[in-house]
Structure 1
Amino acid sequence: MINVALLSRWHVHADDYANQARQNENVSIKVIWDENTERGERWAKELGVPFTSHLETVLGDSEIDAVIVDAPTNLHKEIILSAAKYKKHIFTEKVLAFTVKDCEEIYEAVKENDLQLMVSLPRLTEDYYLYAQEIVDQGLLGKLTTIRCRLAHNGAVPLDGKATGWLPDHFFNKEECGGGALIDLGAHPIYLTNRLAGPATAVTARLQNTEGHEVDDNAVAIVEYESGALGILETGFVSGGSPFQFELYGTEGTLLIEDNQTRLKSKKLSENWIVPDSLPEPHPSPFNQWVRAILDSELTTISETDAIGLTLINEASKISHEQGRRVTITEIMNKIQQTH
């Protein structure tokens, strides 16, 4: 049995991970900590477990094997490094940290202490992504030239007198979040496109603020990849009825995924659009993969490369927007080397 501590209910997905923990027969929630005492006490009462206001007390408890981190993103590095010091396995909401340098520091600590760290990148386990990966691997699109991925909702559109819409107010706190739509919802287009296109070489981004908040609520990033492919990544909190769109274009064909509709056109198969009879079986969720890795040392399908690559595109996008220019990945990596 893996005894876990829930560290903060700040993120909107905190309840989801608590539910996954409760549904997993190998996991037991033992204690809750939250930087907001009132919120933490309320959550502990709902779940019927103790609340502790001191993080060190939780991490220093030898009965706690692992932690689920849903704290503000600006606290991730501090909390995760502390958890690693106390030899606790770590499951965390994306993004892992604001900079590649901080991510690398976290992974060093995790490896030193022989721990399992999982960053929740759930769309890498979904059937449509696995189908896209199969199609690319089989060469049915030829040379991959463009990936367009869009994921947006209306969470920041004012609703019933609430200026921030249905999203919590703190999702617009620049200090806590490090950004807005791109760093949060845009994470999914980023890590999906990274996985299929490979290592990135440069980023040009525009992080728009349409509703007057501290952070972006509408964003686009153009990512150049070593493979020669272009990634066009779109996200936002101000789009009503926007479908999830995942489009792959290559020299020999096109794969279009829109919500639950998938169709393929490949010169190697047919001149007509093909709708697959079935999609691959989804992989286990990031949470369940993490549990199996702790118990049985099973390899996970979500990797350090995925997590760091996500932060890399976000870091480059922020610089690109603030300085109004194209940012190369080389300059970010050189800056890291200079600080070592």
Structure 2
Amino acid sequence: MHLYARLAWSCAFALALCGQALAAEAQPPVQVALVGCAHIHTPSFIALLKSRADVKIKCVWDHETARARKYAGETGAAVVDDVGKVWGDPDIQTVLILSETDRHEELVLAAAKARKHLFVEKPLGLGAKDAYAMMQAVEAAGVIFQMGYTQRGEGRFLFLKEQLAAGTLGRITRVRAVTAHAGALEGMFDKDFKWVTDFNQSGVGGMGDIGTHSLDLLLLLMGEVEQVTAAVTPGTARYGCDEAGEGLIRFKNGVVGTFAGSWVAASNPITLQVCGTEGSVVFMHDYVYFQSNKVEGATGKRPHAKLPKSLPNVLELFIDAVQGKPDVPLVKIREAAYCSAVMEALYQSVKENKWVAPPLPPDK
């Protein structure tokens, strides 16, 4: 190519790149509606959204008007008295459903029908029936979906997935995951978030509320479940529901797993264990202990130093996907729905004192 032709091509290419960059900068912000503000993570999600220049919180709706006004005042957004106005507003591309769990189905079905992208706080549903109905609606609408399962994006969990893919642990035989805090001991649910302790509104107690994070990890790693059983305890008896519980899971791949969720834990040193015929991975405090017969130096006696970088916050990932960023790792609606179905089976097993097989989605 002649020198001048090469220079002309290079200039044209540079101008094109500049044009793309300017177009990206000129892209209008994603307009978001908060639909329900009952969830305990609502304040942190609002803070995150306010920190992003590419997001505008346009309006807030909640069935409790005072709560909507409170969060609208913090964001400078309008209060909407009729949630139908959110579904009918063509400028609103995205909704965050942070309501009580028993309101999820009605809100998610309406949002999907209106073709709004959906971020929904965990858990998705009260059980299999409503969760699978939401799954079918979201998949039919083809909208972007994300759920607030935060632990799967941690660098140590990404490291564990790498080791499973590489086979360094051999054949997996046993898994355990625990998520726990001192919420009941500290009165976390005494006032604004007391609905979480009402089984009719939340569908769970302490085992399921916080333990859903652990169950999500185990299902992501091990796949479909054959049967489950569980036991729960009232803990402090402060809230009239279970405040902690343990579940036993038989996976279809032959692995035996346990998980726990608790509001009555002063500390929770060991949060995840995966054991196989050639090694193990243990999460203890903020460290990873990795032992493998297949990896030189992997003795498991001291913390493993080299871990992948953690992913951004789940809400950050969701906004990135809405903005058109490709290949963003999101929680699939099918994964979230199955987690609700398995958790319902665990609570059913507590009532009936037997092993229970969780229902698969209707199309399987």
Question: Normalized against structure 2, the TM-score is what?
Answer: 0.85
Q: Secondary structure at the match of 1:184?
A: helix
Question: 135-144 or 278-287: which moved more?
Answer: 278-287
Paired residues of 1:202 and 1:327 also in contact (CA < 8 A) = yes
Choose which of 223, 227, 233 in structure 2 pairs with 1:202: 227
Number of equivalenced pairs: 332
Q: Which residue does the alignment assign to 1:6?
A: 34
Deviation at 1:98, TM superposition (A): 1.8
Q: Which amino acid aligns with 1:256?
A: V
Matches within 5 A, 1:1-340: 1-157=29-185, 159=186, 164=189, 168-212=193-237, 213-270=239-296, 272-273=299-300, 275-296=303-324, 298-301=326-329, 302-329=331-358, 332-333=359-360
* Matching residue of 2:11: none
What TM-score do the two structures reach when normalised by structure 1? 0.91
Segments of structure 1 that go 5 or more residues without pairing to the other structure are none
The answer to whether the 8 A contact 1:154-1:238 is kept is yes
Unaligned 5+ segments in structure 2 are: 1-28
CA contact (8 A) 1:68 1:90 kept: yes
Alpha-carbon contact 2:97-2:104 (below 8 Å) kept: yes
Letter in 2 for 1:324: N
Aligned partner of residue 146 in structure 2, secondary structure: strand
SS of alignment partner, residue 268 of structure 2: coil
Distance in 1, Cα, partners of 2:157 & 2:213: 11
Once the 2 structures are TM-superposed, how far is the Cα of residue 215 of structure 1 from its aligned partner?
2.2
Distance 1:244 1:24, change over 3 A: farther
**Structure 2 CA distance, aligned partners of 1:170 and 1:248?**
34
| Structure 1: distance between partners of 2:161 and 2:333 | 19
Q: How far does the alpha carbon of each residue in 1:278-315 deviate from its partner, in whole angstroms, 9 at most, with x for none?
A: 21122233222222322326344222342123112211
Which amino acid in 2 is paired with 1:326?
W
CA positional deviation for 1:3:
0.4
Between structure 1 and structure 2, the one with the greater Rg is: 2
Verify the 8 A CA contact 1:205 1:219 in the aligned structure 2.
yes
CA offsets 1:26-85 (integer angstroms, 9 cap, x no match): 211011111111111121112222111211122222221111011000000001111112
**Cα separation, 2, equivalents of 1:281 and 1:55:** 39
* Residues 275 and 243 of structure 1, relative CA distance in 2, 3 Å threshold: closer
Distance 1:300 1:244 in 2: 29
- Contact (CA 8 Å) 1:156, 1:166: kept in 2 or not? no
- Say whether the 8 Å CA contact 2:131–2:341 is kept in structure 1: no
1: CA distance, partners of 2:169 / 2:188: 44
Letter of the 2:251 counterpart: Y
Q: Percent identity of the aligned residues?
A: 24
CA, structure 1 residues 298+215, in 2 after alignment: closer, same or farther (shift >3 Å)?
farther
Task: Indicate conservation of the 8 Å contact 1:5/1:68, yes or no.
Answer: yes
The CA RMSD measured in Å over matched residues stands at: 2.2
Deviations 1:239-296, CA, capped at 9 Å, x for gaps: 1122351111111111111121111111112573263222112223322222232232
CA contact (8 A) 1:245 1:258 kept: yes
Name the amino acid aligned to 1:272: T
Q: Which amino acid aligns with 1:51?
A: V
Which stretch shifts more, 310-319 or 106-115? 106-115
SS of 1:296 mapped into structure 2: coil
Q: Which amino acid aligns with 2:233?
A: Q
User: Contact between 1:142 and 1:253, CA under 8 Å: does it hold in 2?
Assistant: yes
Q: Which segment is superposed worse, 240-249 or 197-206?
A: 240-249
Q: Is the 8 A contact 2:126 2:202 kept in 1?
A: no
Which AA in structure 1 matches 2:60?
I
Query: Residue 78 of structure 2: SS of its match in structure 1?
Result: coil
* Partner SS, residue 327 of structure 1: coil
